[in-house]
Structure 1
Amino acid sequence: MATPLTAAKFLAALRAEGVRVVEVGDWPHHNRNAKGPWGPVNGVMIHHTVTSGTQGSVDICRNGYSALPGPLCHGVIAKDGTVHLVGYGRANHAGGGDPRVLEHVIAEDYGDRPPTPAKGNANGVDGNAHFYGFECINLGNGKDPWPEAQLDAIERVGAAICRTHGWTARSVIGHLEWSQDKIDPRGFTMPSMRSRIAERLKHSADWDRTPPKPPTTPPSPSTYTVQAKDTLSGIAKSHGLTLTQLIDLNPSLITPGDKLRIKK
């Protein structure tokens, strides 16, 4: 259990983890705190929006709609990996969920995944009080792609909050792992995402998962220009050839200034 981070510490944690952030309006003070508690917080919940397009998705997550006022999350993770902060505090994102799942998230004692939820919105506990929430722009049909930049951003926001609170990757769950009513996120698995987050937490916040490109070795030349003091045996040896091979490649008379073939 933990007290929610201040908005300033939350923003600083995301930026320290290398998250590209866009601050939308007065996001630190846009919340549903008047409708119930936010905290103690116990984890991070990942969702998909069932929408396409960045601006429209950000707008609906910030404002909500008549049946469910916004904010609908704390951050919207776009396809390009940018995280748009739309609110901070209690948000209408998690709804009701299984108290057994909450117990295991708090204890961080489950294996590959938490127990399958047997409760949801109608009979579950209030998840809006206990989780940071991130909506990821995706149609949720199992076909809409998840670009690596977006997956990387999910990994980074999960790690940033876990690192700051001292949690492990088991404090990051999907909405489908919380409520029996939900299927999100669909298109990648939460165990695979937790593995990514766990690996990131082994390193410093500025760690870059992308391995450095190996230095490129310039191609060896295919010809050699004969110098005045060269000998054929010396040319052959310096280029990994036998004298016979060098002569076979260059059967004509060889004189200084000639370009010899030196590749088999």
Structure 2
Amino acid sequence: MATPLTADRILAALRAEGLTVHEVRNWRTHNRNHKGAWGPVNGVMLHHTASGSSGIIDACYDGTASLPGPLCHGVIDKAGEVWMVGHGRANHAGGGDPRVLAAVVGESYGDRPPATHEHQGSSGAVDGNSHFYGFECVNQGDGRDPWPSAQHVAMIKAAAALCRAHEWGARSVIGHLEWSDWKPDPRGLGMPDLRTEIAACLKLSAGKWKPTPSGPAPKPSFEQRLAALEKRVKLLEARK
């Protein structure tokens, strides 16, 4: 468990990783602390915005009538730049599974934390807004909107920056879908793979990590899988 970082320490940690960081309006005092606890903090949660880029920074700062802002602490845009919109309690995580929180606190899981069976308003849920930093990452969240390399890299560096500042490991970073059984984000990205990259970043000094030039191996298309299957069938037939 940890005391939340000051605004200055957050900025310093992010910039030490080589990230471009923007300060939005009065983000340093913009929070929902009057609605509940902020801290102890235990991890970092990644989200997708389920929207395009237009107006999203202001939307995450202001929120809506039913869900006031800030809706996260930072927004990571498609260019890989970070926009700080809040410091303190933010409306981003909501209710989630206490078993997941325990696994994050202890970093006591393998590829994935325990399956979540809770969500905002469910009887066994715990409040994630007091325990997690949140980054909203600009993406439609439909499984088709691409994640540009610059944004992907910024997500890894931003999560690693806060983990490094708190002396946490990569298992302190989860996706919203791993916290709440109502949520799918960040859709299109595998959290185990992201944590592997965050762990690689944390093994080096701040600002030293770079993604491998080739990036992750692309998944074969349906046509490629079908061709491979047909080739296998032909080989099996030839052996008869």
TM over 0.5: yes
Could you tell me how far apart the structure 2 residues matched to 1:98 and 1:128 are?
Answer: 13
- Which residue number corresponds to residue 159 of structure 1? 160
Could you tell me how far apart the structure 2 residues matched to 1:108 and 1:71 are?
Answer: 28
- Which residue number corresponds to residue 256 of structure 1? none
What pairs with 1:77-116 in structure 2 (closer than 5 Å)?
A: 77-116=76-115
Would you say the 8 A contact 2:73–2:85 is kept in 1?
Answer: yes
Could you tell me how far apart the structure 2 residues matched to 1:67 and 1:184 are?
Answer: 21
Could you tell me how far apart the structure 2 residues matched to 1:109 and 1:41 are?
Answer: 17
Partner of 1:160: helix, strand, or coil?
A: helix
C-alpha displacement of 1:32: 0.4
Q: Give CA deviations for 1:156-215 in whole Å, capped at 9, x if unaligned.
A: 011000001000000000000001111111011111100000000010102141569xxx
The answer to whether 1:201 aligns with 2:202 is yes
- Which residue number corresponds to residue 176 of structure 1? 177
Q: Which runs of 5+ in 1 are unaligned?
A: 213-264
Partner of 1:68: helix, strand, or coil?
A: coil
What pairs with 1:1-264 in structure 2 (closer than 5 Å)?
A: 1-53=1-53, 55-123=54-122, 124-210=125-211
Q: TM-score, normalised by structure 2?
A: 0.86
Could you tell me how far apart the structure 2 residues matched to 1:211 and 1:143 are?
Answer: 24
Could you tell me how far apart the structure 2 residues matched to 1:195 and 1:44 are?
Answer: 15
Partner of 1:65: helix, strand, or coil?
A: coil
Q: Which runs of 5+ in 2 are unaligned?
A: 214-240
Would you say the 8 A contact 2:49–2:138 is kept in 1?
Answer: yes
Would you say the 8 A contact 2:200–2:209 is kept in 1?
Answer: no
Partner of 1:128: helix, strand, or coil?
A: coil
Alignment length, in residue pairs? 211
C-alpha displacement of 1:122: 1.4
Partner of 2:75: helix, strand, or coil?
A: strand
Partner of 1:76: helix, strand, or coil?
A: strand
What letter corresponds to residue 73 of structure 1 in structure 2?
Answer: C
What letter corresponds to residue 110 of structure 2 in structure 1?
Answer: G
Would you say the 8 A contact 2:143–2:187 is kept in 1?
Answer: yes
Percentage of matched positions with identical amino acids:
62
Could you tell me how far apart the structure 2 residues matched to 1:158 and 1:31 are?
Answer: 20
Higher RCO by CA contacts (8 Å cutoff, separation 6 or greater): 2
